[in-house]
Amino acid sequence: MAKSNRKQALGRGLSALLNDSENAIESINDKNADQVVGNMIELDLEKITTNPFQPRTHFNEEALEELSQSVKELGVIQPITVRKKGTQFELIAGERRLRASEMAGLKTIPAFVRLADDQESLEMALVENIQRQDLDPIEIGLSYQRLIDEINLTQDQLSARVGKKRSTITNYMRLLKLDPIIQTGIRDSFISMGHGRALINIDSAEEQIKLYKIIVKKRLSVRETEALVRKSKTPKEHPSKIYQPAYIEQAANDLEALFDTPVSATTNNQGQGQLKISFESQEKLQHILNKIKGEY
């Protein structure tokens, strides 16, 4: 009986801390932080606010319904992650689980409480989402771009943080250069990331959309799309047939990853060739020069 009373007292104590508006827990040094931060708690859904830094912008309703049904039958297996802000808790990661729990009619959800400032919350949300399997390629590219722009990570640091090769990160981010209509096509699964990577090689947005419509209408494979792109470029950019061994294309891809900018390479059958490195600003040019000099 004594043990049961002690459990109830502890429960009431934690409840009081969770509802304490005067002592917001935003630092590990704050009063009672050790009793809240790092704990797994059963949190009222009405106390959770969504994450303003949420990188996911598209939620598949059918998939949410399936997850909601699973939650009804099995409960929430993987806790969401939150941070305490006053009397409320702001979601860091797990919005699909939160939405599915609401759809399932649950009143509470298991949650892991962490300390995080705005920047850390953004980074955790972005990295957590990147590691999931159901983000579309455009959302992944946007997440990588935000980590670079808003967290000020270099591509090397980003590669280490998310456990992906730099070339993989570059491939996703290059998709963001596609016309928005084509990006939407990738998000809605009309075409794949492979189709998008082929279309990036077309400079004109108008030509990109023209080819995109052909791809969708004829349901072309990625290989057929690559052939279509080569055919569309040949009369305009390569009047004469140019010898292009595999190592030239690989070299261009490696340089693209290194400089984070489009690079093209051509050669003749004597092994003589040219490199074309694109840049959109003086800052980008300086970045390329610094890479060549090995300054960072």
Catalytic residue list:
95
CA angle 19, 21, 26 (to 5 degrees): 100
What one-character-per-residue DSSP string does 112-175 give?
A: EE----HHHHHHHHHHHHHHSS---HHHHHHHHHHHHHHS---HHHHHHHHT--HHHHHHHHHG
Residue 176 burial by CB count (10 A; 0-12/13-18/19+): exposed, middle or buried? Answer: middle
CB 142 within 8 A of CB 157: no
Cα-trace Rg, the chain: 25
β-pair type (48-49, 88-93): parallel
Task: Give me the numbers of helices (H) and strands (E) for the chain, helices first please.
Answer: 14, 7
Q: 89: alpha, beta or left, given left = phi > 0 and alpha = psi -120 to 50?
A: beta
Return d(Cα 291, Cα 119) in angstroms, integer.
27
Count other C-beta atoms under 10 Å from residue 48's C-beta. Answer: 22
| C-alpha–C-alpha distance, residues 122 and 124, integer Å | 6
